[in-house]
Amino acid sequence: MDLLSTIEAFPNVAPLEGLDRAWKWSLNPVLHFAGALTSDGTRLLQTNQRGKHDESLAQAVLTFARDHEKQLIGEGRFIGHADAFGFPGYAFDAVAAAVPAVHGHHKAQNPELTAVTHIVFPAYACEFSGKETLAEAEARYTKMLRPAEIGRDAVPFVKMRFDNPRTGGGSTNPGRALTYPKILLQEIPQLEDSPGGFVEYENREGAVHHIEWSGTWVLSGESGRREMSLEELLSFTEASLR
């Protein structure tokens, strides 16, 4: 396909100031897009914004993505990320990139374009393990991270399994599965007075922590086993996800 001609045929397309071979376009007052060709001109780096719109942020994301192409789209990951990004007024510290199999953009109108498009977005380093399966990458991109919302907070990567005989709650999956940090933090206090119950979680670095109630709170992991207060345990858990 002629990638350049395809992009220039987008509705309301115009050059994106400050970056060569880059454009902006919109479908309505809510959805705004910007894109830039990769350095070799064979692929499109596209960023999407829904609701709140900041063209300067889009330009900064695309500039950073082009400067870190190999790290973002050249390592075979379903969601790549590059750290050390920053832009005034935002807390983002990384840029991420989703492969075509994850994002599916343009699939209905132009599947050929889908195959050469990588969706890049401002992100937080704590949101990625670098080892996401295709299913996990799809869940992160389509359901958990809200990548088109530039006013969003971080959603740290965490996988969890748990069982609580007292409440009857527990995992239905065979191993640890993706969840939200708030779910993890809600389940930990519920273990009190639940002998045999546990919460086990894995952070983005692959460190696994096991929590149980044995008359007091007990944390087990790579650093051994230790008793903690609930406040200490919750503080440790939150810090371990960042």
Number of folded domains that form the chain: 2
Q: Does 37 lie in the same domain as 134?
A: yes
Indicate the residue among 144, 175, 197 that finishes a domain: 144
> How long is the chain?
242
Q: pLDDT by residue (tens digit) across 19-47?
A: 999 999 998 899 999 999 999 999 999 99
pLDDT-derived band at 7 (thresholds 50, 70, 90) equals very high
Euclidean distance between CA atoms 141 and 132, whole angstroms: 11
Is the same domain home to 139 and 162? no
Percentage, residues of the chain above pLDDT 90: 86
Whole-angstrom distance, CA of residue 152 vs CA of residue 155: 9
The range of the structural domain enclosing residue 86 comes to 3-144
Return the C-alpha torsion angle 24, 28, 30, 35, nearest 10.
-20
- Of 78, 112, 144, the residue that ends a domain is 144
E-strand ranges in 84-156 read 94-98, 117-123
Q: Could you tell me if residue 151 is inside a domain?
A: no
- Check whether residue 134 and residue 190 sit in a common domain: no
Residue 149: inside a domain: no
User: Which pLDDT value is given to residue 174?
Assistant: 83
Q: What is the mean pLDDT of the chain?
A: 95
Q: What pLDDT sits at residue 145? A: 97
Measure CA of the first residue to CA of the last residue in the chain; give whole Å: 42
Which tokens is 156 given? 């740290």
* Residue pair 157/187 in contact by the 8 Å Cβ criterion: no
- Among 5-14, 131-140, 227-236, the minimum mean pLDDT is found in 5-14
Q: Express each pLDDT in 113-124 by its tens digit.
A: 999 999 999 999
Structural domain contains residue 152 = no
Residue that terminates a domain, selected from 89, 118, 144: 144
pLDDT tens digit sequence for 179-226: 999 999 999 999 999 999 999 999 999 999 999 999 999 999 887 899
Name the more confident of 172 and 81.
Answer: 81
